[in-house]
Amino acid sequence: MSFAGEVKRELLNVENAACCEQSRARGLLLFGREFSARRISILTENSSVAEAFANAAHLFSGSTPEIERSGSGNYKIAIEDKSAADAIMSEVISFGNDAKKQLSIGVIERECCKAAFVRGAFLAAGTVTNPETEYHLEFSCPTRSVANELMELILGLGVETKLTNRSGKSIVYIKKSGAIEDMLTIMGATETSMMLMGAKMYKDVRNTVNRRMNFENANAVRSVDAAIKQYEAIALIEKKQGLDSLPKELKKTAEMRLTNPEASTGEILRMLGDGLSLSGLNHRFKKLITIAGEIKKNDGKH
């Protein structure tokens, strides 16, 4: 089952309070494939969503529409009976006997019912990408005005959401991982939301570990480079003029490096153990490298 399918399965199991039942039904019906006086329909690959849609239609029209199987294996419901469609339209689009039709979304009062409406809308027209690949949750809306109202509603629930157009469809979408978690939690997919948070935490930890390892590697490489440079310089001094030519401290340092070519500067410091600071030791190595550089320069003159 797809990630979106898992989310829908969890949402279908959410118990709807009596006040929320109608709200969820409105979301389901309004966000189907078509919503007009001529036809109210849905096309879905999810049989449980089709059943929920049929039950929602029954709630407002008193009759249960037939669920058909399309050629591609999807589930299809089309309500074309005029009295049934009218009954549903009046419940979903307009309230009371206001001649000016008003969408139902704006008049949902309770928070629980708002969440139930979004849950219904998501079941009918929502999808969410597996967070392992990308963060994206969206609702494909029947009209621009419905999209605007849905966006308002979701913003009102405190979730950051945006609106776009894709091949003539208005899409309300959520991109940020935190906002997707919030939306899933509000709709009632708490298990999935928790899983998502876990996945993100895992990603964060992994990134931190990677960063740290790269940092340590870089340090290790730097310290090996330095050791090689020191060793080569000292070996050259020894070969050309002998270590006895060096002042006492430099000689001691040079001998320590020659006998411990793989030791880090810090380890050399500990082995010397005469109260020298790391910068003091680095200063000595710098001097040795300068001496070697001069030897090389003079060699070139001959």
- The window from 15-23, 130-138, 159-167, 268-276 that contacts Zn ion (CB under 5 A) reads 15-23
Burial of 295 (0-12, 13-18, 19+ CB in 10 A): middle
Tell me if 194 contacts Zn ion by CB under 5 A: no
Q: Kindly state whether residue 112 participates in binding Zn ion, applying the rule CB under 5 A.
A: yes
Q: Which of 84, 88, 92, 113 binds Zn ion (CB under 5 A)?
A: 113
Identify which of residues 113 and 151 has a Cβ nearer to Zn ion in the complex.
113
**Residue whose tokens read 């419901």:** 77
- Give the list of residues 6+ apart from residue 67 with CB closer than 8 angstroms, or none: 47, 50, 51, 54, 75, 76, 77
* Distances from the Cα of 144 to the Cα of 150, 151, 221, angstroms: 10, 10, 58
Q: By CB under 5 A, tell whether 19 contacts Zn ion.
A: yes
Q: Is 110 in the site for Zn ion (CB under 5 A)?
A: yes
Residue 276 in tokens: 């020298």
Q: Does 107 bind Zn ion (CB under 5 A)?
A: no
288 binds Zn ion (CB under 5 A): no
CA–CA gap between residue 291 and residue 282 (Å, rounded): 14
Which residue is listed with tokens 């050309």? Answer: 240
* 20 touches Zn ion by CB under 5 A: yes
Q: Pick the closest to residue 148 from 135, 165, 136 (CA basis).
A: 165
Instruction: Tell me the angle at which helices 18-30 and 47-61 cross, rounded to the nearest 10 degrees.
Output: 110
Q: Which stretch binds Zn ion (CB under 5 A): 16-24, 54-62, 99-107, 157-165?
A: 16-24
Q: Which stretch binds Zn ion (CB under 5 A): 11-19, 50-58, 199-207, 267-275?
A: 11-19
Between residues 187 and 281, which has the closer beta carbon with respect to Zn ion? 187
The reply on whether position 111 binds Zn ion by CB under 5 A is no
The binding site for Zn ion (CB under 5 A) comprises 17, 19-20, 110, 112-113
